[in-house]
Structure 1
């Protein structure tokens, strides 16, 4: 493990550094003090040091240790990150956010870990990216981890699958819908009516967002669906202006199944 891991994770360059120096006004060197501390100089010039939360170096290090005994990995971490330094202790605290190493058990073939509030929960539903096998003490990756991005992708895939079951798009203005009454309907869409934005006379600027005008969605008014419009039609900014129930022969010819 790198001995400067704490600096990589917590520290970042001073605010106002790099290219900002060339834009600062020149100072009169005759009025400058002969001696000044580094902290005072950094504060007066705007070079303020700030903390960072960049866990990528720590995550890369732990990833490289997968398959090794956790006791040896933890010994290396303790050798480089002490408890007497606030910054280094801060980094050590983040390890427990990434690795489940306390209270890991197996129950009926399922791995259980201690949740953030103490209760045991399945590993696949936890936020831990790594875990320590209680039988072997080996560090392992959580292969069943569902990141927020993966969860959003799964929800969108499920939404698209449900949309295809109840809606078929004929063209940009017409769709076939299996609505709550159990029948197929042909629905005609139009864009939501808008008006030009009103000027703001106080600031003498025009608000670029168009004003929405009132309209009536004929499908929702008839109580044929309880879904929000963007979910019902698969996109934002449209509403239904006409609807027509399809006969069984039409639905069969269009290969629409209930």
Structure 2
């Protein structure tokens, strides 16, 4: 390990507002008005962004060091890191915190698979293959060697599209936020008019040569919403909405 690794990891300016700024941050007074009972006392510097500094370590070299030392005894690796990181320095000592965010040192084997071994954690016994992505390495409880966890990311679960009843090419009924709404839609062409916006998703619509996957999943067609309004109970009974959806 490099003798100056401690400096390499922390030689970055800390994140936060510059002291040269002499006025409160944007939206500060509006933010205070949101409180029903605003604070009666406040530090002089707090409204000017002071006290909001955060660490800004450069942790890429640390991760590369761990990757190149897979298969070595963890005790030697940890001793080597502590040798070149000044634990009396608050900023450099913070690196040790990140180290144990990458490496799970307390591991148990369940059916031959490495799992979390911290008994005081709520996820005790959780497989390292499905745990937090930050824990990319672990210490083998049998050999004491550093191993890669071979993390398998969880599949992203897409939200279910709302209940939908299509009335015609330009109108449909959607069940949104606990109520039925009449939504007017228009097709998304390859060159749509400028500055058009989906009123439900509140996003800008751009031209696509292929169908918009999000629009097709949500509306059932390559369209976007131009207008919306809630439906009354009388209107719902007159529309072809399944009766079980109205209960």
Q: TM-score, normalized by length of structure 1?
A: 0.45
* Greater Rg over alpha carbons, structure: 1
Q: TM-score, normalized by length of structure 2?
A: 0.47
Structure number with higher helix proportion: 1
